[in-house]
Amino acid sequence: MTIAALLVAHGCDVGYTPVIGGIDALKYGRLFHVDQMYLRLAAYRAANATLIEHQAAIPLAQAWGGGLVASVDGMRFVVSVPSVYARPNPKYFGRRGGATWLNMINDQAGGLGGKVVAGTPRDSLYVLDVLYDRDGGKRPELIVTDTASYSDIVFGLLSLAGFAYAPRLAYLPDQKMWRIDHAADYGAFQDAARGRVDLVRIERHWEDILRIGAVAYGIRRGPAARC
């Protein structure tokens, strides 16, 4: 009962007062002790890993998918109190500050993890962080995002890190695809493939590209993976 009360207090951002009661499990001292000792990030992540594993064993979830497809998307929240994560973004928060919860969920409806991001930067800057810092579950093979979590740089980094990337892009006429042979006929994609890949530049900077890809791959896997 103590944990249920604290989850309500945290989820509704109302503090202890509304959930304090007359029984021992709901007294302030008990609530404060459990909150400080057990409801911390490491405990939430461990609990989430157990939930992900249990969800993957449910037959209905297995019918939805194999856990190898994941979507990364940001949810915007207005933050009404001072916070290091609260930043202005008129598009989403008007004149107030806000934050983004960048969340990853797989095709078995398992929430693999997430990250709180200040409300100003684009989601795409943190997609790799979320992918490599998941709480549990299988490593996704196919990543789906919306336009806010997409950029050409992210597309390249995900490819170098071994992920297949399938962004859902808005404003398709404004998007540009890239070609190596400018004289080739790309059929239905002829007009869209108006960007040209400079192979000479890639060759010149290939070692740097591999280094960035290695850092992206190893950023959440410890020093041994980065060596």
pLDDT tens, the chain, 227 aa long: 899 999 888 888 788 888 998 898 899 999 999 998 888 888 888 999 999 999 999 999 999 999 999 999 888 888 877 777 788 777 777 778 888 888 999 999 999 998 888 877 777 778 888 888 889 999 999 999 887 777 778 888 888 888 898 888 776 677 778 888 888 888 888 888 888 888 899 899 888 888 877 776 664 444 444 43
Amino acid occupying residue 76: R
Binning the chain into helix, strand and coil, the percentages to the nearest 5 are 45, 20, 35
Strands 111-118 and 97-106: antiparallel
Signed CA dihedral, 83, 89, 93, 95: sign only: positive
Beta strands 69-78 and 87-88, pairing class: unpaired
Burial letters 4-21, b for 16+ CB under 10 A, else e:
ebbeebeeeeeeeeebee
What pLDDT, on a 0 to 100 scale, did the predictor assign at position 216?
64
- Asked whether the beta carbons of 78 and 119 are under 8 A apart, the reply is no
Q: What is the CA 67 to chain-centroid distance, rounded?
A: 16
